[in-house]
């Protein structure tokens, strides 16, 4: 029975993780950018227009503080 509960917990965490990544796809990009220099962070990433990138950065002001001022 304990193995079954553990399996349900693992499956539940995977489903929650997939939902978070589906509804907030820019979260991974923000984590990746947290260690970069300001000039690297502020440049639009591949697949983003300049306006889309500015919109993305505005959702993560703690990570892109230098770019938004």
pLDDT tens readout for residues 18-68: 998 888 877 776 677 667 777 777 888 888 899 998 898 888 888 788 888
Segments forming the whole domain that contains residue 9 = 2-68
Q: How far apart are CA 3 and CA 61, in angstroms?
A: 42
Position of tokens 């962070």?
41
Q: What is the CA radius of gyration of the chain?
A: 17
At 33, list the tokens.
């950018």
pTM: 0.49
- The domain total for the chain is 1
pLDDT in the model for residue 33: 67
Give the separation between CA 42 and CA 8, rounded to whole angstroms: 41
**Cβ-count burial of 57 within 10 angstroms (0-12 exposed, 13-18 middle, 19+ buried)?**
buried
């Amino acid at each position: 029975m304990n193995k079954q509960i553990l399996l349900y917990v693992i499956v539940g965490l995977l489903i929650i993780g997939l939902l978070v990544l589906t509804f907030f796809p820019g979260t991974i990009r923000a984590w990746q950018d947290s260690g970069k220099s300001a000039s690297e962070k502020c440049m639009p990433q591949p697949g983003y227009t300049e306006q889309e990138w500015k919109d993305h950065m505005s959702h993560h002001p703690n990570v892109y503080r230098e770019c938004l001022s």
